[in-house]
Amino acid sequence: MKHYVVGYLKKTLRFFTAFLPVTANRRKTCTGCGSCCKLPTRCLFLRDRSDGTAYCAIYRFRPLNCRKYPRTREEWLTTKTCGYTFDDHHHPH
């Protein structure tokens, strides 16, 4: 139960911060695993493909928080399956 409360709080936070830019240290890309569409429960618009990947039934109209996920490393809850990574190494000039 607590898991879902925290999950929905995090989702609400993502919603209200989605206007902020995606962090510059994000690398690689979405591989369509669908994990972020299950945070914390499965999205109604998530559809599965037979090859194990997933897609969004309202992709063109999806909200900003979905569009930008994972916007920051702190928001990144799907580390096991997500195609994105974050570069933590800061290169001073």
The residues that touch ligand SF4, with contacts defined as CB under 6 A, are 30-36, 69, 78, 81-84
Nearer to ligand SF4, 12 or 79 (CB): 79
**Residue 40 to residue 69: CA distance in whole angstroms:** 14
Nearer to ligand SF4, 14 or 84 (CB): 84
Shortest reach from residue 64's CB to ligand SF4, in Å: 14
CA-to-CA separations, 77 to 18, 32, 49, 51, 82, in angstroms, rounded: 15, 15, 22, 23, 9
Shortest reach from residue 81's CB to ligand SF4, in Å: 6
Tokens 């090859």 — which residue? Answer: 51
Nearer to ligand SF4, 77 or 93 (CB): 77
